[in-house]
Structure formats: structure tokens, C-alpha cells
Structure 1
Amino acid sequence: MKKKLSIIIMCLAFLLIGCSSNNSKENISKEEINWPEKTVEITLPYNAGGDTDLYCRTAAKYLEEELGQTFVIVNKAGGSGIVASKEIMASKPDGYKMLFNHTAALVQETTGLADFSYTDDFANAGTIIEDSTYTLVARADSGWNTLEEMVEEAKESPKKISYSIVHGSVTHYVAEQIEKSAGIELNKLDVGSSSADRTAAFLGGQVDLLVVNYINIADYIEAGTVVPLAILSTERIPTIPDVPTAVEQGYEVVSRKLYEFKFPKDTDQQIVDTFTAALEKISKNEEFQKEVEKFHGQAFYRSPELTSKEDKEQVEDLSKVMGES
């Protein structure tokens, strides 16, 4: 009996040691990733100075404060953002390279210009900013003071009025909405993929109409050389109260950008979770909110799960519009 009891006690001891050992291994495994331990590189697929660059640099400043490491911005334009996106897709998933882009890029996925998914082929790390200030503008020398005046002339002379388009981009999506809602045909011209190139072509008289984030054209509007015909938001922007929406003028033309962070696919979930927690925290920081509002945007946190879900839904919605073009 004593022998049997000894054997039972020994078995229980081995079991306890085994459990303790397994728990230790699990704890060690969880503690192995101490991220970030060095500089993090954020790649954005556009040149410096535009809305994406401004928002990225603002967010990076607060991420540095929150996570205690340097965040370096790398501007890599090319292929309407596809070049930079593919570079991040091919990067080592160690948390030290990531992409900052906006939901306008989903049009590329919808049209097939991008042969990958901005949701399935990345590890979404969350959304941080919303900008609903995409604005349709004309030069003051056009003679148009309202959207209705432009539409009337476009109906009288189909394909006469030129519009700056980047095929397979949000400008393409907006053009489809304008033409269908207003019953007009525009002369859609590709004069450059970056906001800076398109703005320069517009100001130089190569095209009559331009859609761009308000911050990119604000100085020209204030100087009186450019006329804002409509903000493509569902309602007026509090920081730009005098510019009417296309919707209130009777045209269903709406577009917004949500700015997102993405890691390479297969990035460890601990890294994603650490970053996401920091992102949510800075979105609630009043100083961060004020800085974003200077550019007429809004701090807007969206979890990785919700970002993925809603981006997929947006691709479906875009397909309905773009598929009819």
C-alpha cells in the first residue's frame, strides 16, 4: 500500500513539474517579443507635402511619444501607390516596416489595377484619421461660381469640360458619380498620379476640374484663384462651413478617406496588438485631435478587425459603381 502511495505521489509531482515547465515556456514565449526595440519605418506611397504625408507625420510624432522609439517616414511614390504597397508586402514581418495609406486605394483593388487585397494580404493595424474634405474645384477664370453652373455648361457641351483623373483611383470613382448623378459627360484626362502633379496641371490650365483634399488647395481658394464647387461629404465640414456639399446641391457625389496602418502579413499578433493599443490611445489625445483638425481632418480610431470588415464592404460597394462604368 505504501509502495502504491509513493508511486502516486511521484506521478503527481512529475505532473506538477511538467505543468510548471509548460507555463514557464508559455510565459517566456509571450515575453520574447519586446517591440519596438529600434526605429520603425513607415512607408507611404506618395510624395511629401500632401494630405497623406501630413497625417502620417502627425501620427508618427505621437506614436514616438507613446512607444518610445523613432518612427521614420519614407515617401515612395510610384504606380499610384502600388509600388510601395508591394514593397511592404514583401518585407520581413518583424514589425519594423509598415504601410500608411488611405481607403481611396481600395478603388485599385476594385478595378483590378492592384492584383492583391489591401485587407487579406496585409496585417491591418487600425485606422487613425478620417478626412471627408475631398473637394471639387474650378479655377476662378472658368466663370463658374457654383456646381450647377458647371453642370449646365457640361450638358450643353458634352465632353468639353476636362477633369483630372487617375484611372483606377478615387478620382475615377468620383468622376463616375458626377457623370451619373448630373447626367453629363466629362473629358477625363490623366495629367499625373500625385496630388501635386494634378494640382500643377490644373493651375496651369491643362484641365478645368480637379478633386483633391481641401488642405492641398486651401491657399489658392483663400487667394481667390480657385473656386470650390462642392465638398464631397455627406454634410458640411465644421472647419470649412461656407463650402456646400454636392449632396445638398442635389448631386449624390460622396467620397471620404480613412487613413490606415498596415504591417506585412504574418506579423506577430503581439506586435499588432501593441501598436493598435498605442494608436487607440493617441486618437483620444486632445493635442493630437487639434493638430489633425488644423488640416480639416478628424481623429478617427477603428480597430484592425473593423478596418478589415468595413474595407471589404467598401470594395463591394465600389464594385457596384465602378462595374457599371
Structure 2
Amino acid sequence: MKKISKMAILVWAIVFGLTALVGCTSKTPEPSKANSSGQTAQGEIEWPQKTIQVTVPYNAGGDTDIYARIAAKYLEKELGQTIVIINTAGASGMTAARKIMGDKPDGYNVLFKHTAGLITEATGLADFSYTEDFAIGGTIVEDSTYTVVVRKDSGFKTLQDMIDYAKANPGKLTYSTVHGSVTHYVSVQLEEAAGIDIKELDVGSSNSDRIAAFLGKQVDVLTVNYSTIKDYIESGDFIVMGILSEERVPTLPNIPTFIEQGYDVTAIKTYSYSFPKGTDPAVIEKFDAALAKISQNAEFQKEIESFFGVAKYMNPTETYNSEKEMIQQIKTVMEGAL
């Protein structure tokens, strides 16, 4: 057999080593592939990758719409994508809720709701559950400024004046309500606490419709967020009967609560997000982290407070527990009212 020289062996080893090295280094790794929820093979969430639509179940210009738009501006910075607000009014918020329930659970369609939704669930008006049929995204705002007002030509100067009239004239005091909403919840409490019988009239679901009807003397009493009627109050056109918070609102220190006037009537609205059921938990977790961060942003807090609300963050679990508790409370109050 012919002997191979040491030099030949050395050359062969060098050539083989270089070939192997080139083969390894020249191989291009495949890019990570995300599934339909944006989850990569390595477990890193790649959501969001496109515009997120947040559906508000009321018309533009109201408190829910305002808070949703403020929050969206700050969430865009945290999530790195555009957030578009879609106003879909109807059926005390249920039209929008059903729309989100039917959307693909990919994290790009979200419902921004408040306590009124829970009332439709508690009273059986909704054929679905806001707590069980959605993936809860968390809470971001609380508003304790639901305010009861009358017109300056009503003759009422105080809450007691209004109640005395209602007692002397059962069924004559007219009240603007939206069936199955927070206004309805308030009227049931008021009748029970004051021992009066008021006439509820549904004059429109939007704040603008209800205010127009109130100004047009179609109803005697209006309940709405303070920021919505601030100018009318300051001009003296609307007379405040009281605010429906549990204690005086720091930014409205001169307005007495119903409780301190001897009537246990409250209506505190919390504003939260819900995703379609089945949304990837990693999406919810990332969204929740963004909510937690903006809630601590001083500029965000300042904007919310300019409408007399407060930035109030609760994670999805806290939101779920809070909403379940609220539903039970509403059921107790509204039993037999529908």
C-alpha cells in the first residue's frame, strides 16, 4: 500500500476543517414564525403588529368616549401601534358587546365599557355575561361624579325640596332614564331611599339627547357625569341636587353627596377593557402591563382628572372580582325593578 505523507495528511485536514467551517457559518437560520396570536416558537409575543380597534358602546363625545380616547393616546406609545376608537351605540351597550364577542380573538378588537354593562347582566337584559363571556383586559379609570340636577326654573333649591315635591305629588316628578343603565339604577335607589314615586322617561340614550330633552322641559331631573354638564352648572342654568359618590370628590369639594344629605344613593362608574373570549393570555398580559404603566403616567392622570375622573388601575383578576361583586350588588338593588 502506498504511504501517505505527513504533509498530505496535514493539507487534507486543513481543507476539510475549512469546508466544515464555511458550511456552518454560511447556513442562514430560518426566521422565527409567529402563530395567529403573534406567539413565536421561542415564546416571545409579537403582538401588536397592526392597528388595534377599541369599540366604545356609546356615541362620541360622552364620558366613555372621552376616557377611551385619552387612554388610547397613551397606550399607543406603550404598544407601538395605532389605536382607533369605534363608536357603536345601541341597546344599552349590548350591540357593541355582541360585536366584540363575535370578533376573532387575535387581540385587535377590544371593548371599552363601564358599569352600565354590568347592570344589563345583573338584571337579565343581556343574554350573555360581561364577566364570563369575555377575556378581561383590566380597568383604567373611575368616575364618581354622577350628578343629579334640575333646571333653574324648577323651583328646587335643594335635594330636600325636590324630594318633598315628589312626596306631595306621586308620579309627577319626571326623570330621564335609559332602561337597564346606570340612570335606571340611580332612580331605583332614589325611590327606595326617599320613599318617593317618580315617573321615568326614556328620552334618548346619548348624553346629548338627554340634555336636549332636559333643556326642552321634557323631564324634570337629569343624572349625568359632572364634566358633561359643567358649563350649565357654572352658568346657573342647572341646579345641583347632589353627587352620587360615597364621599365628596376632591376636585368638586363644594358639591354634597346624597349620602351626607341622608339618602343612600350612589353610582360609581369604572371603565374597563374586554377582549373576545379565547384571546391569547400573552396578549392580555402585555396589554395589562401597558395599562399598569400608563396609569402611573402623570400626564395621563392629569388629563383624566381634567374631566373629574381618576386613573384607577386594576389587573384582569382584580377587575373580574370587582365586577362580580358589583353585579351582586346591582341584583340586590334592582330586584323587582324590571
TM-score normalised to the size of structure 1? Answer: 0.90
Kept in 1, the 8 Å contact 2:188–2:333? The answer is: yes
Q: Shift in Å at residue 180 of structure 1? A: 0.6
The question of 1:51 aligning with 2:63 is answered yes
1:263 partner letter: F
Aligned residue for 1:97? 109
Quick one: distance in 1 between partners of 2:183 and 2:174? 13
Quick one: distance in 2 between partners of 1:29 and 1:186? 62
Kept in 2, the 8 Å contact 1:44–1:84? The answer is: yes
Quick one: distance in 1 between partners of 2:207 and 2:279? 31
Aligned residue for 2:220? 208
Aligned residue for 1:275? 287
Quick one: distance in 2 between partners of 1:120 and 1:29? 30
Aligned residue for 2:82? 70
1:108 partner letter: T
Query: 2:92 pairs with 73, 80, 84, which one?
Result: 80
Query: 1:262 pairs with 274, 280, 284, which one?
Result: 274
Q: Shift in Å at residue 106 of structure 1? A: 0.7
Kept in 2, the 8 Å contact 1:80–1:194? The answer is: no
Moved more, 87-96 or 305-314: 305-314
Aligned residue for 1:134? 146
Aligned residue for 1:151? 163
Quick one: distance in 2 between partners of 1:304 and 1:124? 5
Which protein is richer in helix relative to its size?
Answer: 1
The question of 1:30 aligning with 2:43 is answered yes
Quick one: distance in 1 between partners of 2:40 and 2:64? 39
Kept in 2, the 8 Å contact 1:122–1:262? The answer is: yes
Quick one: distance in 1 between partners of 2:326 and 2:46? 35
Q: Shift in Å at residue 27 of structure 1? A: 7.2
Count of residues paired in the alignment: 300
Kept in 2, the 8 Å contact 1:45–1:82? The answer is: yes
RMSD, aligned α-carbons: 1.3
Moved more, 187-196 or 63-72: 187-196
1:150 partner letter: M
Moved more, 258-267 or 197-206: 197-206
The question of 1:294 aligning with 2:286 is answered no
The structure with more radius of gyration: 2
Quick one: distance in 1 between partners of 2:129 and 2:212? 31
Quick one: distance in 2 between partners of 1:152 and 1:272? 51
Kept in 1, the 8 Å contact 2:116–2:180? The answer is: no
Q: Shift in Å at residue 29 of structure 1? A: 5.1
Aligned residue for 1:236? 248
1:240 partner letter: L
- Aligned residue runs from structure 1 range 190-209, under 5 A: 190-209=202-221
Q: Shift in Å at residue 243 of structure 1? A: 1.0
Kept in 1, the 8 Å contact 2:40–2:46? The answer is: no
Q: Shift in Å at residue 293 of structure 1? A: 0.4
Task: Give unmatched runs, 5+ long, in structure 2.
Answer: 1-33
Q: Shift in Å at residue 224 of structure 1? A: 0.9
Quick one: distance in 2 between partners of 1:27 and 1:163? 55
Q: What SS class does the counterpart of residue 285 from structure 2 fall into?
A: helix
Q: What SS class does the counterpart of residue 30 from structure 1 fall into?
A: coil
| C-alpha distance after superposition, 1:79-134 (max 9, x if no partner) | 11111110000000000010001012211011111111001011000000000000
Task: Give unmatched runs, 5+ long, in structure 1.
Answer: 1-24
Quick one: distance in 1 between partners of 2:194 and 2:124? 27
Aligned residue for 2:264? 252
Q: Which runs of 4+ in 1 moved over 2 A?
A: none
Quick one: distance in 1 between partners of 2:82 and 2:181? 32
TM-score normalised to the size of structure 2? Answer: 0.87
| C-alpha distance after superposition, 1:220-270 (max 9, x if no partner) | 111110011110001111111111100010000001100001110000000
Moved more, 188-197 or 281-290: 188-197
Percent of counterpart pairs with the same letter?
Answer: 57
